[in-house]
A and B are shown apart, each in its own frame.
Chain A
């Protein structure tokens, strides 16, 4: 099946710094990518939807200036957590979907972010 690669798989950063997470679709063109956050034993919460070449659509309550999303090509989307704080520590997962109505989404391995 199709592969979505997410990098890094884990990162520890100091409070106040920024962290960039990459999501790549390796063998298909992803017109739409989604970014999620998941706290321990909680459900996947959609943060934003990004379409290639246009601005991301953020879910209510998600700060677009804090979570910068760039979907510059059909195979790469990035999420930058700016000025990270301990409460941003979470599991971040991306997914990518190929064009079409009946297409499944492929998920990355996830990134465990710890802000100290």
Chain B
């Protein structure tokens, strides 16, 4: 069965450091992969999308990589800030009408 694994439930880092979050998937052949952020008691918010033929995508302090051989995506937040503290979710997408399922998410805490 299809599975989405995010490597840890929680990540605690010091402000200013780079946070790296991992998303591994099995039994998927995604055409692209999306990353979302969820704050407590709120719905997720879209952050970045990366296609299968793209190795890397950047948006301000965010960077996503996509390795279809390793079946893995890495999500980096550089110069992290306490406001980046949230749960980050990945979602591999196989097609235009495919269902949107998420990994468990990784809760990032950035301490001042």
A residues near B, CB below 8 A? 4, 6, 32, 34, 43-44, 46, 49, 51, 57, 91, 93, 95, 97, 99-102, 104-110, 112
Residue of A51, A93, A100 ringed by the most chain B CB atoms within 10 A:
A93
Contacts of A97 in B (CB 8 A): 100
B contacts with A: majority SS: loop
- Chain A residues with CB under 8 Å of B89's CB are 43-44
Whether B32 lies near A44 (C-beta < 8 A) is: no
Q: Binary interface profile of B, 16-56, with partner A (CB < 8 Å = 1, else 0)?
A: 00000000000000011010001001111110010100000
Interface of A is mostly: strand
Are A43's CB and B102's CB within 8 A? yes
A-B contact pairs, 22 of them (CB 8 A): A6-B43, A32-B97, A34-B99, A34-B100, A43-B102, A43-B103, A43-B105, A44-B105, A46-B101, A93-B43, A95-B43, A95-B100, A101-B32, A101-B95, A102-B32, A102-B49, A104-B46, A104-B49, A105-B44, A105-B100, A107-B45, A108-B43
Q: Which of A44, A46, A105 has the most CB of B within 10 A?
A: A44
Cα A108 to Cα B89 with chains together (Å): 16
- Contact between chains at A101 and B46 (CB < 8 Å): no
User: What is the interface of chain B, defined by CB distance below 8 A to chain A?
Assistant: 31-32, 34, 38, 41-46, 49, 51, 89, 93, 95-97, 99-105
Whether the pair B100, A110 counts as a contact (CB closer than 8 A) is no
Contact B34 A109 (CB under 8 A): no
Chain B residues within 8 Å of A102, by CB: 32, 49, 51
